[in-house]
Amino acid sequence: MKRVLAWVAAAAVTLTGVLLLRAELMTVEVEQPEGSYTDVVVTATVNQEDPEAVREEMTRGLVSTCRLLVNADVAAESFRRVEPDVFAFRLRPGLDEFDRRELRGCLSDTRVQHLLVDVLHLQTVTPADPEPARAEG
């Protein structure tokens, strides 16, 4: 009897684990409302002799590649240098939770020789949300 209960308990734990993992890995398309956008801020480090000359170009290239994974476009004229090694840009339409994780992973993990990018801020805003406060500077 104890053996049967142990097998039933093990089966229940396994089934619960598989269902939780499936929910975490499942791709679900969530429609974002018209006018939604995602603001992203990244820091880029370049390991070369003259990093300033190529940092922005390399970061733009990586952003261009990663935005294809989430089926969004960089809003016109939104890519800008915030600090010498920090860049900000806006994607339209806004990204759902899965796409935000996908974008963060792509920006952080995609290997571009001599470039290391870290995501500092990633937030989706919909028309119903209040406009986020922008830092002055």
On whether the pTM is more than 0.95, the answer is no
pLDDT-derived band at 134 (thresholds 50, 70, 90) equals: low
Mean pLDDT of 115-120: 90
Q: How far apart are CA 41 and CA 53, in angstroms?
A: 20
CA distance 64 to 58: 10
Per-residue model confidence (pLDDT) at position 76? 86
Question: In the predicted model, is pLDDT for residue 7 greater than 80?
Answer: yes
- 135 versus 38: which is more confidently predicted? 38
d(CA 11, CA 29): 31
Q: Provide mean pLDDT across the span 110-134.
A: 77
CATH fold group of domain 37-125: Alpha-Beta Plaits (3.30.70)
The chain-wide mean pLDDT, for the chain, equals: 81
pLDDT tops 70 at residue 29: no
CA distances for 53 relative to 1, 97, 104, 119, angstroms? 72, 34, 25, 21
Buried b (16+ CB within 10 A) or exposed e, 41-76: bbbbebeeeebeebbbebbeebbeebbeebebebee
> What is the mean predicted confidence (pLDDT) over 20-36?
66
Average pLDDT over every residue of 66-73: 89
* DSSP code of residue 35: T
